[in-house]
Structure 1
């Protein structure tokens, strides 16, 4: 008999945590997933998955299922806030797929989550909020808020911005408030003027902007509407707002925007936080993934994609027989740290670029958009498995 497979505990059953669990199982590891939620309810929000994320999902045999529940975005468009006129557009669809090795998809987060739950061989343990992590040379014990405990050989912290596992790895730190919040919602496509023609659509204006795209095969239009707001500090997937508040925040904008915001049945709203890039992600037996490692503002659309990349890299390194588990965690961290830091910092800068007042600065930004496909190629055309091979 060979050595027993490592027992790995993944804390967090979001997109990154479940992708990591599936990838680790595919490499032969024993995996248990723990989540603080008492039930895995449907969250009314969209998520974009680019070619760099799809490479990992395809490698796990999940790509077609993700495609089946998503919308393949056929173009990117930038619209003026008041007139609604398009000032830049570029094809996506087949063009994007051929250039970047996979499609650019708009998905309902709940649909993507269901695909991942179906791909995981097991059931997440719910109602388990990690309170403390105790590490020894022989293993790791996770202590949960309900008083229960779990043991593992390795622990992966995929428990988000306010990660308890990160506290074990790095000590206390503070989330950084962006002084911005966002309204989010899903609207039936027939209640959005021109919604059946939307791809990845931006509406840019002074101190505000929206990102809009179809999900669920075009049945629904997902919007994220960003506003400066130093007073709204609640960061929660479940926090709500009245649709009228979003409409008021975009008074004077074009009819497509105000009609869409007014036709949503339920509007989510939450404050936007990230953290300063970490100097360290791992100990001998514990590492971090996704928002627990590199929380980023959503202005590059890469939060989920970077977590998916993390998952592919982590499982690949841990499966290398030439590396001890501790060495594998260090190699994983080294590979991922510089890239995710660059995207974190770029995401911070994008908000200001998207929210310029009309005038010369806006004209200069709009002229630069002609270079957008080349400027984002390092993000979307990235293949984490090829990068690993080059690192060996």
Structure 2
């Protein structure tokens, strides 16, 4: 890193901690500002695909990540209403040197926080940033405690409601997709197969897979509805509402939902990809730059990819050249992934004759050419930003 560059990162989530470690390993002096009193994640499961696993390996965290996660063997698409498998995709083939893995979000954040500290990153808690000012001067922050901080380089990893994004682009108004999602984890006795299962139905679907060696079952259930739900990770809902939404699903799904006592609920909103990811000594990454719907399981993976590329660009050139290069290297890929996730939302929720036709086609493909179905996603999983 030229001149022991000083970098300030807003946010201690996956994106912020990954970019902090990546920069520190290259010689930068990195400070992470986190508004919470401790580093913690309230989320549940994540699917880390080979493109994300490669970044964790390159960050020197591969062994620790393998110890704290579990390999994913397959994805199965099932008819949630009538029962029966529609398609099984084998995740153990292809993409040498990298695996699909299931991990609890809190475990990944803990791993990245430990890795950042080990690389020399300073993490300051209880740092709620109220304003970000960019202009013909170094980036400036003002905290809730009225402290003013001037930054040599500022990186916004501050999520959906990013203040750094707003400083670069103005405030954008997202729109409600007409979909809400519940999420929960259930304790299990272990022995769950290492498979992600997607139960599809008219206007709704449910995804489940094991966490922590099968000691937990992760559940995400999505329903189309006209009623608006707040965009938040901390709302809870009446479990009866969730059960009613999936009352026509197969008994095993209904059995899981009967055990959920306090489901989290959030409305799914579409945010535009930010036009400007950088400028005036600042840059954004992850959800701050390109929030994506969860239907391709690429949010955390894109954050990891962004972190690696941004750190690589800053290690090669001064910020005036490095930051535009970062956006140029990432933007087209990210936009394609966001659109693919949007398309998956529609495909999971088909009804009537369209669903019958689509499921018949998937069953035929699974019987005669299962590898070709997964090959359609090679552009996602085979990509290696560390190469």
Q: TM-score range by the shorter chain?
A: over 0.9
So what's the TM-score if we normalise by structure 2?
A: 0.92
Give the Cα separation in 1 of the matches to 2:69 and 2:270: 27
1:109 to 101, 105, 108: 105
Give the Cα separation in 1 of the matches to 2:277 and 2:199: 36
Q: What residue is the counterpart of 1:71 in the other structure?
A: 70
So what's the TM-score if we normalise by structure 1?
A: 0.91
Correspondence 1:379 to 2:380:
yes
Q: CA deviation at 1:137?
A: 4.7
- Asked whether the 8 Å contact 1:46–1:109 carries over to 2, the reply is yes
Q: CA deviation at 1:145?
A: 3.0
How many residues are aligned here?
377
Q: What residue is the counterpart of 1:130 in the other structure?
A: 129
Give the Cα separation in 2 of the matches to 1:154 and 1:328: 11
Give the Cα separation in 1 of the matches to 2:226 and 2:96: 38
Q: What residue is the counterpart of 1:234 in the other structure?
A: 230
Give a deviation string over 1:242-264, Cα, whole Å, max 9, x none: 32221111011111111111213
Q: CA deviation at 1:188?
A: 1.7
Relative to 1, partners in 2 of residues 1:13 and 1:362: Cα closer, same or farther, differing over 3 Å? farther
- Segments of structure 2 that go 5 or more residues without pairing to the other structure are none
Relative to 1, partners in 2 of residues 1:178 and 1:198: Cα closer, same or farther, differing over 3 Å? same
Give the Cα separation in 1 of the matches to 2:96 and 2:290: 23
Give the Cα separation in 1 of the matches to 2:108 and 2:379: 25
Q: What residue is the counterpart of 2:320 in the other structure?
A: 326
Give the Cα separation in 1 of the matches to 2:122 and 2:263: 30
Q: What residue is the counterpart of 1:185 in the other structure?
A: 184
Relative to 1, partners in 2 of residues 1:350 and 1:3: Cα closer, same or farther, differing over 3 Å? closer
Give the Cα separation in 2 of the matches to 1:64 and 1:339: 28
Correspondence 1:164 to 2:158:
no
Q: What residue is the counterpart of 1:282 in the other structure?
A: 278
Give a deviation string over 1:271-322, Cα, whole Å, max 9, x none: 11231122221103001100000001111100000010000001111111xx
- Segments of structure 1 that go 5 or more residues without pairing to the other structure are 387-392
Higher mean Cα deviation, 11-20 or 67-76?
67-76
Higher mean Cα deviation, 348-357 or 129-138?
129-138
Give the Cα separation in 1 of the matches to 2:360 and 2:97: 27
- Asked whether the 8 Å contact 2:176–2:228 carries over to 1, the reply is no
Give a deviation string over 1:95-154, Cα, whole Å, max 9, x none: 2xx425411111111111111111012453223232222235552211123322222211
- Where 2:185 maps in the other structure, the secondary structure is strand
- Asked whether the 8 Å contact 1:205–1:358 carries over to 2, the reply is no
- Where 1:160 maps in the other structure, the secondary structure is coil
Q: What residue is the counterpart of 2:26 in the other structure?
A: 27
- Where 1:221 maps in the other structure, the secondary structure is strand
Q: What residue is the counterpart of 2:16 in the other structure?
A: 17
Higher mean Cα deviation, 158-167 or 35-44?
35-44
1:257-336 mapped onto 2 (5 Å cutoff): 257-320=253-316, 323-336=317-330
Give the Cα separation in 1 of the matches to 2:45 and 2:338: 20
- Asked whether the 8 Å contact 1:232–1:270 carries over to 2, the reply is no
Q: What residue is the counterpart of 1:220 in the other structure?
A: 216
Cα-Cα RMSD: 1.9
Give the Cα separation in 2 of the matches to 1:201 and 1:3: 47
Give a deviation string over 1:323-357, Cα, whole Å, max 9, x none: 22111101000010000011111211211110001
Relative to 1, partners in 2 of residues 1:190 and 1:3: Cα closer, same or farther, differing over 3 Å? closer
